[in-house]
């Protein structure tokens, strides 16, 4: 049994031998079993696509499988810009979506400062890993709380929102609304997920 990546006709494994110079690919087969598993370690976004499992019978037969790779990411609810008056309550909710595992921790940043433990500055962060949720609450926001808030789960792409806190009469900007999250730094935050494709004849 051989495994072939169809995108570039790259021969990955033949029997139990890895042909690819990319050692993330490995064939697994237990004696007397009819399963030939292709194991791909440290899956990357670029691994997505069609894979062929070819059986060297006469004539050869093939099965094709499509591998989808999804990236876990943070998402802050609401528009990417938020406008508040001093004294009002700022509440931000960050959810971790498309994830297979609960985050071990979620850090919040105000500009470049980590603020999870900044209770004395009026900031209250509570995280519920099982629900994949983290809340940031500032009961009485002041002008100094203006800035860029970033939610950084340990296992997902971060998300940011910009909070404007100022005294103003109905600024046109208050009508602003934009997509609910932005993506950052796509490459550094891939999950080291293990994906196996299992063929059972
Ligand atoms: C922080 O907020 C949570 C609810 O979101 C609340 O239960 C908790 O008492 C707050 N902690 C402080 C110190 O205000
Ligand atoms: C907010 O902070 C993030 C992370 O540092 C950064 O990538 C992003 O560009 C910042 N956004 C704005 C509007 O400053």
Nearest-atom number in ligand 1 for the CA of 139 is 14
Range of the domain at 45: 2-69
Low-confidence ranges of the chain (pLDDT < 50): 170, 172-201
So what's the pLDDT on residue 171? 52
Please state, in angstroms and rounded to a whole number, the distance separating the CA atoms of residues 111 and 66. Answer: 40
User: Is the residue at 29 inside a domain?
Assistant: yes
Q: In this predicted model, what pLDDT tens digit does every residue of 109-152 receive, in sequence order?
A: 999 999 999 999 999 999 999 999 999 999 999 999 999 999 99
Ligand minimally distant from the alpha carbon of residue 184: 2
d(CA 162, ligand 2 centre) in Å:
8
Q: Answer yes or no: do 41 and 80 share one domain.
A: no
Final residue of a domain: which of 36, 69, 102? 69
Find the ligand nearest to 135 CA.
1
Name all residues whose Cβ lies below 6 A of ligand 2. 148, 150, 160, 162, 184
Q: Given CA atoms 195, 46, 80, 172 in this order, what sign does their dihedral have?
A: negative
- Domain count along the chain: 2
Closest-CA residue, ligand 1 atom 11, reads 124
- pLDDT score of 100: 84
- pLDDT reported for residue 174: 47
Residue listed under structure tokens 């983290």: 134
Asked which of 38, 53, 69 is the last residue of a domain, the reply is 69
Same domain, 60 and 77: no
> What's the 55 CA to ligand 2 centre distance in angstroms?
50
**Domain assignment present for 110:** yes
What residue owns the CA closest to ligand 1's atom 12? 124
143 and 65 both lie in a single domain: no
Q: Centre a 10 Å sphere on the Cβ of residue 140 and count the other Cβ atoms it contains.
A: 11
Q: Are residues 77 and 62 in the same domain?
A: no
In the prediction, which pLDDT does 168 show? 75
What does the pLDDT read at residue 72? 93
Distance 16 CA to ligand 1 centre (A): 55
Check whether residue 149 and residue 110 sit in a common domain. yes
Burial class (CB in 10 A: 0-12, 13-18, 19+), 79: middle
């Amino acid at each position: 049994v051989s495994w072939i990546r169809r995108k570039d006709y790259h021969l990955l494994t033949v029997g139990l031998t890895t042909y690819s110079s990319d050692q993330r690919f490995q064939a697994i087969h237990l004696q007397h079993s009819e399963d030939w598993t292709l194991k791909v370690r440290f899956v990357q976004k670029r691994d997505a696509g069609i894979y062929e499992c070819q059986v060297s019978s006469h004539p050869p037969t093939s099965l094709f499988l499509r591998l989808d790779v999804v990236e876990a990411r943070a998402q802050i609810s609401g528009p990417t810009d938020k406008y508040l008056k001093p004294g009002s309550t700022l509440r931000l909710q960050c959810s971790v979506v498309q994830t297979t595992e609960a985050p071990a921790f979620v850090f919040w940043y105000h500009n470049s400062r980590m603020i999870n433990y900044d209770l004395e500055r009026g900031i209250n962060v509570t995280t519920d890993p099982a629900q994949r949720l983290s809340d940031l609450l500032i009961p009485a926001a002041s002008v100094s709380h203006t800035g860029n808030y970033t939610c950084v789960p340990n296992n997902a792409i971060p998300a940011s929102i910009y909070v404007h806190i100022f005294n103003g009469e109905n600024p046109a900007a208050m009508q602003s609304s934009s997509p609910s999250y932005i993506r950052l730094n796509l490459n550094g935050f891939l999950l080291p997920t293990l994906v196996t494709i299992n063929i059972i004849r």
